[in-house]
């Protein structure tokens, strides 16, 4: 078996794409993260990856500047971003271990502790105004209202929403299946409001494009399907129209979907399944929102001076 690190890296990336079903974007990120590590450590052979190289790499990562718009006040990579690099390396080492290639054990890589962040949320009134903003009866307004209703009804990721075809959703039923991250299929549920506006939108369509959500007006490209970026722009436009000063994205509507379920008594594991999270630790970030409401419950129902 070849011990050339670049050949092994390429085989790993192909494994992640084909056997693991990772998206091309994820594979591209893994490629970029691993390239940075291999160049830093001047790694030529899997045996060159050792604890000392890892220690120096982690120190180097922690001191790297971040030129993106999400940089911290210190200008260095956030712990979360550093973890992306480490996760890619750990996955690569696990792959080498399974192939019985002698290298550093993946167990040697511990991720940096990341502090819990506050969710970017809009309140119930803002959410209602946002969803109701596309208030016309034209094709564009019906499309945009359907997008808002479906995002909040189902908790879909924006990429999942854009992947929908007309035959993806049976409007005689309250649910449909979606293939999410890693090729995993889950069931999502559609509200009566979302179904009603979807019917109006699809009935008004006169094209034969299979995509559920398409471009309307303007320059027509080879594919009329809306992209994730297009949907982000649509949501941002209606947020401004609704008078919401915060930055609103499709992902914030997904946050609203999850917190609405929890606030109304849904258990965390059910929310995990509906969101399509592979790990419940990802879903648990939403409990911090509902935990804040416990203070009000305590004040209302408990007195220490009985």
Question: How many other β-carbons are positioned within 10 Å of the β-carbon of residue 210?
Answer: 13
Helices of type H across the chain = 5-18, 24-41, 51-62, 79-98, 124-132, 139-154, 158-163, 192-204, 228-241, 250-263, 268-275, 280-283, 287-291, 294-301
Structure tokens at 232: 């982000």
| Three-state SS letters, 142-210 | HHHHHHHHHHHHHCCCHHHHHHCEHHHCCCCCCEEEEECHHHCEEEEECCHHHHHHHHHHHHHCCCCCC
Among this protein's residues, is 277 annotated catalytic? Answer: yes
Which residue among 145, 157, 195, 255 is the active-site one? 157
Among this protein's residues, is 181 annotated catalytic? Answer: yes
Structure tokens at 56: 């120096």
Among this protein's residues, is 288 annotated catalytic? Answer: no
Among this protein's residues, is 22 annotated catalytic? Answer: no
Map tokens 């409990």 to a residue: 287
Among this protein's residues, is 302 annotated catalytic? Answer: no
Cα–Cα nearest to 255, from 117, 114, 96, 132: 117
Which residue among 181, 200, 205, 225 is the active-site one? 181
Which residue among 90, 143, 145, 254 is the active-site one? 254
Instruction: Kindly list the catalytic residues.
Output: 157, 181, 251, 254, 277, 286
């Amino acid at each position: 078996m070849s011990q050339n690190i670049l050949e092994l890296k390429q085989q790993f990336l192909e494994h992640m794409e084909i056997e693991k079903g990772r998206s091309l974007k994820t594979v591209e990120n893994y490629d970029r993260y691993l390239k940075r590590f291999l160049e830093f450590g001047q790694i030529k052979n899997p045996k060159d990856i050792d604890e000392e190289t890892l220690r120096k790499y982690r120190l180097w990562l922690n001191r790297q500047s971040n030129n993106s718009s999400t940089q911290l006040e210190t200008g260095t990579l956030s712990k979360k971003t550093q973890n992306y690099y480490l996760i890619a390396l750990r996955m690569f080492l696990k792959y080498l271990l399974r192939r019985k290639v002698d290298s550093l054990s993946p167990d040697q890589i511990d991720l940096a502790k990341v502090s819990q962040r506050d969710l970017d949320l809009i309140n119930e009134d803002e959410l209602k105004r946002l969803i109701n903003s596309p208030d016309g009866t034209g094709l564009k307004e019906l499309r945009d209202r359907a997008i808002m209703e479906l995002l909040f009804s189902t908790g879909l990721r924006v990429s999942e929403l854009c992947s929908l075809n007309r035959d993806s959703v049976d409007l005689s039923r309250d649910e449909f299946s979606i293939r999410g991250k890693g090729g995993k299929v889950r069931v999502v549920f559609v509200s009566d409001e979302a179904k009603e506006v979807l019917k109006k939108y699809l009935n008004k369509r006169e094209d034969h494009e299979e995509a559920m959500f398409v471009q309307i007006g303007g320059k027509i490209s080879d594919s009329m399907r809306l992209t994730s970026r297009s949907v982000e722009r649509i949501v941002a436009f209606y947020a401004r129209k609704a008078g919401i000063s915060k930055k609103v994205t499709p992902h914030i509507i997904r946050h609203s979907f999850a917190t609405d379920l929890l606030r109304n008594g849904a258990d965390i594991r059910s929310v995990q399944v509906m969101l399509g999270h592979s790990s419940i630790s990802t879903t648990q970030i939403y409990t911090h929102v509902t935990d804040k409401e416990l203070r009000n419950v305590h004040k209302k129902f408990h007195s220490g001076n009985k």
